[in-house]
Structure 1
Amino acid sequence: MTRELVPPAKARPGDRVAVLSPSFAAAGAYPRVHEQAMTRLTEVTGLVPVEYPTTRKIGATARERAADINAALADPGIRALLAVIGGEDQITVIPHLDQELARADPKPFLGTSDNTNLHHWLWDAGVASFYGGSSQVHLGPGPGVDDIHARSLRAALLTGERLEVTEPGESEDIGIDWADPRALESYGRRAPTRPWSWYGPSRSVTGRTWGGCVEVIQWILTAGRFRHEPDALRGGVLLLETSEELLPARAVGWIVRALGERGILSAVDAVLVARPPVSDHTRHPDAAERERLRTEQRDTVAEVINQYNPEAVVCVGVPFGHTRPQWILPHGGTITVDGARQRITADYR
Structure 2
Amino acid sequence: MVEPLVHPPKAVPGDKVAVVSPSFAAPSVGPRVHEQAMRRLTELTGLVPVEYPTTRAAGSSPEARAADLDAAFGDPEIRAVLATVGGEDLITVVPHLDPALVRADPKPFLGYSDCTNLLSWLWTHGVAGFYGGSTQVHLGAGPAVDDVHARSLRAALLTGGTLEVTEPGESEDFGRPWDDPAALTEHGDREPTEAWTWAGPARSVTGRTWGGCVEVLQWLLTAGRFPTDPAVLAGGVLLLETSEELVPARELGWVLRSLGERGLLEAVDAVVVARPPASSPDVRRGREERAAHRAEQRDTALAVLGRYNPGAVVVVGVPFGHTRPQWVLPYGGLVTVDGATRTMRADYS
Q: TM-score, normalization: structure 2? A: 0.99
Contact 2:5–2:127 (8 Å) recurs in 1: yes
Whether 1:7 aligns to 2:7 is yes
Match in the other structure for 1:111: 111
CA drift of 1:53 comes to: 0.5
* Amino acid across the alignment from 2:302: A
Match in the other structure for 1:326: 326
Could you report, residue by residue, the CA deviation over 1:158-194 in whole angstroms, capped at 9, with x for unpaired residues? 0011000000000000101111110100000000011
Match in the other structure for 1:180: 180
1:29-178 matched pairs, under 5 angstroms: 29-178=29-178
* Amino acid across the alignment from 1:150: A
Match in the other structure for 1:280: 280
Contact 2:29–2:178 (8 Å) recurs in 1: no
Match in the other structure for 2:221: 221
1:239-250 matched pairs, under 5 angstroms: 239-250=239-250
* Amino acid across the alignment from 1:248: P
**Following TM superposition, where does structure 1 have runs of at least 4 consecutive aligned residues deviating by more than 2 angstroms?**
none
CA drift of 1:267 comes to: 0.1
Could you report, residue by residue, the CA deviation over 1:298-346 in whole angstroms, capped at 9, with x for unpaired residues? 0001100000000000000000110100000000000000000000000
Could you report, residue by residue, the CA deviation over 1:192-232 in whole angstroms, capped at 9, with x for unpaired residues? 01110000000000000000000000000000011241000
Partners of 2:316 and 2:159 lie apart in 1 by 28
Partners of 2:84 and 2:321 lie apart in 1 by 15
Partners of 2:295 and 2:92 lie apart in 1 by 34
Partners of 1:109 and 1:159 lie apart in 2 by 15
* Amino acid across the alignment from 1:307: R
Whether 1:212 aligns to 2:209 is no
Partners of 1:100 and 1:262 lie apart in 2 by 29
Could you report, residue by residue, the CA deviation over 1:269-324 in whole angstroms, capped at 9, with x for unpaired residues? 00000000010112221111111110000000110000000000000000011010
Q: TM-score, normalization: structure 1? A: 0.99
Contact 2:199–2:302 (8 Å) recurs in 1: yes
Match in the other structure for 2:190: 190
Match in the other structure for 1:22: 22
Aligned length: 349
Give structure 1 stretches of 5+ with no counterpart: none
Contact 1:230–1:267 (8 Å) recurs in 2: yes
Match in the other structure for 1:269: 269
Match in the other structure for 1:297: 297
Match in the other structure for 2:339: 339
* Amino acid across the alignment from 1:263: G
Contact 2:174–2:189 (8 Å) recurs in 1: yes
**Partner SS, residue 336 of structure 1:** strand
Contact 2:148–2:327 (8 Å) recurs in 1: yes
Match in the other structure for 1:316: 316
Contact 1:128–1:331 (8 Å) recurs in 2: yes
Could you report, residue by residue, the CA deviation over 1:59-78 in whole angstroms, capped at 9, with x for unpaired residues? 00000000000000110000
Whether 1:260 aligns to 2:256 is no
Partners of 1:29 and 1:125 lie apart in 2 by 33
Partners of 2:336 and 2:116 lie apart in 1 by 21
Partners of 2:100 and 2:266 lie apart in 1 by 31
Partners of 1:129 and 1:84 lie apart in 2 by 16
Contact 1:3–1:233 (8 Å) recurs in 2: no
Contact 2:199–2:313 (8 Å) recurs in 1: yes
* Amino acid across the alignment from 1:235: G
* Amino acid across the alignment from 1:344: M
Partners of 1:99 and 1:121 lie apart in 2 by 9
**Partner SS, residue 140 of structure 2:** coil
Match in the other structure for 1:251: 251
* Amino acid across the alignment from 2:174: I
Contact 2:36–2:140 (8 Å) recurs in 1: yes
Partners of 1:295 and 1:236 lie apart in 2 by 26
Could you report, residue by residue, the CA deviation over 1:226-272 in whole angstroms, capped at 9, with x for unpaired residues? 12410000000000000010011101111111110110000000000
**Partner SS, residue 344 of structure 1:** strand
Partners of 2:68 and 2:62 lie apart in 1 by 10
**Partner SS, residue 324 of structure 1:** coil
